Amino acid sequence: MERPIKVLVAKVGLDGHDRGAKVVARFLRDAGFEVVYTGLHRTPQEVAMAAVQEDVDVVGISIHSGAHKELVPKVIKYIKEFGGNPEEMVILVGGIIPEDDFEELKKAGVDGIFIPGTPIQEIIDFIKKAVAEKRKAVAKK
């Protein structure tokens, strides 16, 4: 039997808007995912360390502060430094993300970007499909 999908939901930096992250975390838990919530005001190092220590399948970063282009690549960098492999994880960003920044985030290693108003089922379906693809790729190695 395959283990449940494990998702880390994180708030990085000084952004104090956590309602959306908590709502998404609850819906993911209700959909059968194992969810770890890091709480507010985490550094990129803290989020990366939690992702590696918890051996998560998904790192979901919620940002409303506008610092996504700086903070998200740092999380990915620190995952590598702490011994994790972000290419084997699904990296997601949610929140106030201008569409003009999507391509840059994807080049940095982000798999999916979700803005306010995205239906929760769309996020759930994306995660299930992306994790299945990553697990299949890892199994082939």
Q: What tens digit of pLDDT does each residue of 63-115 get?
A: 988 889 999 999 999 999 999 999 999 999 999 999 999 999 999 999 999 99
pLDDT at 1 over 70: no
Longest dimension (CA), the chain: 41
pLDDT of residue 44: 97
Q: What tens digit of pLDDT does each residue of 17-66 get?
A: 788 899 999 999 999 999 999 989 899 999 999 999 999 999 999 998 88
How many C-beta atoms surround the C-beta of residue 141 within 10 A? 5
pLDDT of residue 66: 85
Burial string for 30-63 (b: 16+ CB within 10 Å, else e) reads: ebebebbbbeeebebebbbbbbbeeebbbbbbbb
6-140 folds as Rossmann fold (3.40.50)
pLDDT at 8 over 90: yes
